[in-house]
Amino acid sequence: MELMSTTWPWYVAGPIIGLMVPALLLLTGKAFGISSSLKHTCAATLPTKAEYFQYDWRASGLWNLVFVAGILIGGILAVQVFGGGGPTGISEATQTDLQALGLTDFSGLVPPELFSWSALSTPAGLITIVLGGFLVGFGARYAGGCTSGHAIMGLASLQLPSLIAVIGFFIGGLTTTYLLLPLIL
Question: How distant, in Å, are the alpha carbons of 2, 70, 172 from that of 98?
Answer: 34, 34, 19
Task: Tell me the per-residue pLDDT of 64-110, one tens digit each, with 9 for 90 and over.
Answer: 899 889 989 988 887 788 776 555 667 788 889 889 988 888 877 77
Does position 174 have pLDDT exceeding 90, yes or no?
A: yes
CB 22 within 8 A of CB 157: yes
In contact, 21 and 156? CB cutoff 8 Å: yes
Distance in angstroms (rounded) separating the CA atoms of residues 117 and 121: 8
Query: What confidence score (pLDDT) does residue 1 get?
Result: 67
What number is the average pLDDT over the span 140-152? 82
Instruction: Provide the residue ranges of all domains of the chain, joining segments of one domain with +.
Output: 1-86, 89-185
Looking at every residue in the chain, the average pLDDT score rounds to 83
Cβ(64)–Cβ(33) under 8 Å? yes
pLDDT top residue among 90 and 57: 57
